[in-house]
Structure 1
Amino acid sequence: MKKREYPKTVFRKKIIKGIFWTGFFSVLFLSVVAIVRVGNAGTSQAEAEPMHEEVKKEENLAVSEGAQSFAQNFATQYFNWQNTDAGKKDRVKRLKLYLATGLDEQAGLGFEGMQWNSSLSKSQVWNVEETGKDTALITLRVQHMLKKITHPDPKVVKDAKKAKKEPPKAKEETIGPFEKYFVVPVKTDGQSFVVYEIPYFIAAPKKPEIVVNTTVDQTDKVNDLVLQQEVLSFLHTFLKVYTTGTQEELSYYTQDNLLPSMSGIMTFQEIKNLLIKKGDHQNTYQIFITAVFQENQSKAQVVYPYKLTIVKKEGRWFVKEMKNQ
């Protein structure tokens, strides 16, 4: 049978269709392969990422605010005692709630030779030092009072009664407050706290040798006497309103109502020193003054150094910024 021959145009169309579908399926196959590879790579990366994650450090509750409150509460019980048999037993009972099992029941305090009773006046957390994953040393600054009652000689009392005289009374004596620095070793189980070692006293920290420079750089100092008089007059008015005026009145002299009124707290008296320096912008100046005030309740005089930034706009002065030096 003679093979059928197609016209050239039909033959070309068949070749084009064949090339198109071959290319289409090739692209489809390659796309599927690429998607599978990306998916596998993502899975492998996701599985590998946990291996590289940093282990987060668990919070040590022994340095938390809760531990600090615990240490202060413990100090309240530690520094409160009565030098009697009943008082000693009561202290043991109170301290038991704070002390780790096996620790000395009086937390290291001995009563031999004791003459005074004690009560805590106040405590303040001074320092917190982490010593382990669940331990810390919490240093408190404490103040406590000492009190004792001296009973009269029984023989003297007996003789007074015998002579029908008023017997002498017990004498009460109080001294203090005494300031101490007290270290409380704290340990946690993640839920609560105990004192796990005997607490102890340490020496008071020494005052740091820090020297304050109170001098003001005189660079760009303005020596214009007219300007100085104008600024001084404005500052007297401003400071008087600052300490006696209402908030609305004060806002008239400031930009953006930046200062709260000090009315009822202190009253302006005088300006002792004045230094004017050029500011960063036109008609802006930095002002350094020493101002004297009177505290309203005690009538005590207080002297404060200030740095002000003032600006002149449309013939009026405004305080742009005011800081205690």
Structure 2
Amino acid sequence: MERPIVRRKIPRILFWLLIIYTALSTTAVLAIQFGLIQMPSRNLETAEQAPRESDRVMISELAFAEQFVREYLFWTQGNEDSRAARLKPFWKPNMDVQGGLDFKQVEWNSYARNVDAWSVKEREDQSGVIEVTVYAETILSHVKNSNEQKRVDRYLVVPIKKAGDSYLVAGFPRFIAPPVAKMPAEQEEDRKDVQGEAVDSQTRLEVEQFMKSFWKVYTTGAPEEIAYFKKNSKSVSGLTGMMSFLEMDQLNVRQNQGVYVAECNVLLEDLASGAKFTNHYLFKLVKEGGRWYVSSMEQGEI
């Protein structure tokens, strides 16, 4: 007898619980609607929407680098002191306020019309130095005739480092070739310095002659001409119209299992301004059928 009674009571209990829940819910909604119960205000800026600290830092890095490049590429012969005063707040202490620029041979005055940051990355040496690549559209006017003008597009890598609430330029900026868009290609081999023995004098002479020929074509030739020197025969853009090759020195050549590694310093001249730049390069070379080819080419530190 007890079980049927319990079964009859369960639906009644559930019915009254539903009635009570509905009444309480309706009362709560009406109380909120008429302001009797205050709801906490919603935070409209969610965690995903809030600006991240890393984003704010990146924005400040780019802004600082852009400001510096505007001042660095702005000079007028005879107003060197004014340029030095404008650049001084950007440099680390004891750095050359002119940033290595010699005005004695400058034939063109310069100013940056448009400046935009291109990329930013942190050096892997854990020094805290951040390298910002900046594009600058510059207008050059001849020092003897201001009406004679020309446009030069430049890409610079600016090394900066955090200093309090701002940054300082940690080294002289360096000019680089413009980035080139291309279709995805084979993954480049990871750089592995070939350990080997120094080559004989005859091989070193051959490499030296080949390297000089390569640099002349790399700074004057078309992509198809440069490809003639490449192992993969792929057309690549060199520094034609940007830099001229002056000299190569400190050549060191070593060989291991048919691969030749050539390291050298190369002096280039900026065609737009006459400024000279020295860079260090590492080449991997192969010799096939009596001819030398460039297998890979990298820029390194002097």
Quickly name the TM-score band, shorter chain normalised.
0.3 to 0.5
Query: What TM-score, normalized by structure 2, do the two folds share?
Result: 0.40
